[in-house]
Each structure stands twice: as C-alpha cells, then as structure tokens.
Amino acid sequence: MLSIGDFSQLGQVSVRTLRLYDEIHLFKPARVDRSSGYRYYSVEQLPRLNRIIMLKDLGLSLEQIATLMEDNLSADQLREILTKKQMEIEKELQENEARLARVEARLHQIEQEGQLKNYEVLLKTVEPQMIVSARQLVPTINDMYYSRCKLFSAIYNWFDQRLIEPQGNEFAIYHNTEYTEQDIDMEAAVVTDAKPPKNKTSVPVAGENVIVRELPGAREMASITYQCRPPDVGQAIVALYSWIAENDYSTDGAYREIHLYGRELDLKNYDPITIEMQVPVKKNAG
C-alpha cells in the first residue's frame, strides 16, 4: 500500500488530481483509513490510472472517460467517441491554421505600415432582409451622389404614399462585377417589413421603378465599418479588397454600402459619417 504522495509520484499525477478523481468516483483509493481519512493505493491500480491518463491525453473529458470505464470499454462506443473526437481535433486544426494565417497577415501589415490601420476587416454572417429598392445605370462616377439621392427620394416617396415607415438603414448596392467609372449599375435600398408582391420578379432591373424584394444574406461577409467624410471611402474599399486577396478569399456577390448614419438626403456637406462596406466572400478552393 502506498500513500497518496508516493502513488502520485509513481503515476506522474498530482496529489490534487488523485483527490479529485476520488471525489468524482473516477478512480478511488484501494483503501481509506477510517479515522485519519488517509488514502492508500496499491500498485495494481496503476494500469487503470494509466488508462485514464491515456484517454485524457486523447482529449476526452473526465466525464466521457468515466462513462467509458464504467461500461467496461465497449469497442463500438469507444470508436464512436474517438471518431467524434477526431473530427473535433481536425476542425480545431483548421481553425488554428486560419487564425495563424490572420495573425501572420496582421504582422505582415505592421511590417509594411508601422501600425494598424484605423479600420478592421471582419468576417460576419448576414441574414436576408426585405428591402424597398430602386436601380439605375449611373452614367459617370461624378453623377453618383446626385443619382443616389434621386433614387432614395423615389423610395421614400413610395413609403409616404403607402403611409408605412422604413424599418432600417439605407443600402447602396453596386452590381457591376468589375471596377468601372461609367455606367455604374447601382441599386439604392431601404430595409422594410413590407411584404413583397407575388407576381413580380424579385430582382429589379436598372431603370425600373421602386420595387420590394429580398436582399440575400451571406454566410461569410467581409466587412469594414469606417468613419470618414464622404469623399474618403476609397481607401477603405482598397483595404477591404486587399484583405480578401491576402486571406485567400474571393468575392461572391455584389458590394454593398450601409449608411449607419441615417439618411443621405439629410446629410450636410462634409459631416463625418459612419458607414459599413460589405462584400459576400467565399474561401478559395484548395
């Protein structure tokens, strides 16, 4: 018979651990002295302790181990638990690899610029939303502000005529698949809880009037939330697309800008604004 101290040395576990395993009925001393409460162990108990340590080493919880040991290690159950654990570890490995890539991208960025930028690219999930929208081909980049205001005007008229209220922020959605400074296919939109009409196509066409449609969500949306004055959004857009390339993603839908500051029509010139730039993305294969 060995004292708890001797046995803990033999088994390479702490005394505290042995007391814990006793408490949770996972591994009990061979004998406990009635009067002193001293725990005594025998060397024949070592294989069982080692089995516990081995299973813990595989990443199982003490509760899982207790279940397995009680059931006398049914092979099927064990296989099931180990297979599950295997998947968990593989998932963790992938997450850590992605995390490592992100840390390295940040370090790389610090090397180049000496500091962090004053905005961050985040990945988020966005649910689908009902929007009231109007779409137009904008001749040149200089007409953009004016065109957008006209579209928002039309949208708010639509609300006023129906005596209902918008339910959320303004969006500007850009449908061009490549960068262009003319014939920009822009959709202005406001979130609503109105129901869509049944007999109409759900995607507006440039030049058409105000319609109701569902704006698709995105499982992975790259996003920058940024404070600036209106002309300064370009820098952040560059950052957003650089991030996407550096982190091995590709765009997977139309770029959107969300006006977190309220209505563009109410904006005074050069008021600072908070906007969120979003683009759906997907991880590149392989």
Q: Site residues (CB under 8 A) for its own copies?
A: 10, 12, 43-44, 46-47, 50-51, 53-54, 57-59, 73, 75, 78-79, 82-83, 85-86, 89-90, 92-93, 96-97, 99-100, 102-104, 106-107, 110, 114-116, 118-122, 124-125, 225-227, 260-261, 274, 276
Measured from the CB atom, the residue of 189 and 210 that comes closer to its own copies is: 189
Measured from the CB atom, the residue of 16 and 283 that comes closer to DNA is: 16
Compute the distance between CA of residue 258 and CA of residue 229 in angstroms, rounded to an integer: 15
Beta bridge partners of 102: none
Compute the distance between CA of residue 169 and CA of residue 153 in angstroms, rounded to an integer: 14
Compute the distance between CA of residue 249 and CA of residue 6 in angstroms, rounded to an integer: 56
Q: Count residues contacting DNA (CB under 7 A)?
A: 18
Compute the distance between CA of residue 16 and CA of residue 3 in angstroms, rounded to an integer: 13
Q: Which does 44 bind (CB under 5 to 8 A by kind): its own copies, DNA, none?
A: its own copies
Measured from the CB atom, the residue of 76 and 178 that comes closer to its own copies is: 76
CB of 4 to DNA, least distance (A): 4
Measured from the CB atom, the residue of 165 and 183 that comes closer to DNA is: 165
b/e map 119-129, b = 16+ CB within 10 Å: bebebeebeeb
CB of 283 to DNA, least distance (A): 23
21-50 positions binding DNA, by CB under 7 A: 36-39
Q: Which does 150 bind (CB under 5 to 8 A by kind): its own copies, DNA, none?
A: none
Compute the distance between CA of residue 186 and CA of residue 211 in angstroms, rounded to an integer: 14
Measured from the CB atom, the residue of 3 and 227 that comes closer to DNA is: 3
Tell me the Cα Rg of the chain.
31
CB of 25 to DNA, least distance (A): 13
Could you say which of 1, 50, 63, 93 contacts DNA (CB under 7 A)? Answer: 63
HEC-encoded secondary structure of 245-275: HHCCEEECCCEEEEECCCCHHHCCCCCCEEE
What totals of helices (H) and strands (E) does the chain contain, helices first?
7, 12
CA distances from 42 to 11, 20, 36, 170 (A): 11, 18, 18, 73
| Site track 238-257 with DNA (rule: CB under 7 A), x = hit | --------------------
Q: Is 20 in the site for DNA (CB under 7 A)?
A: yes
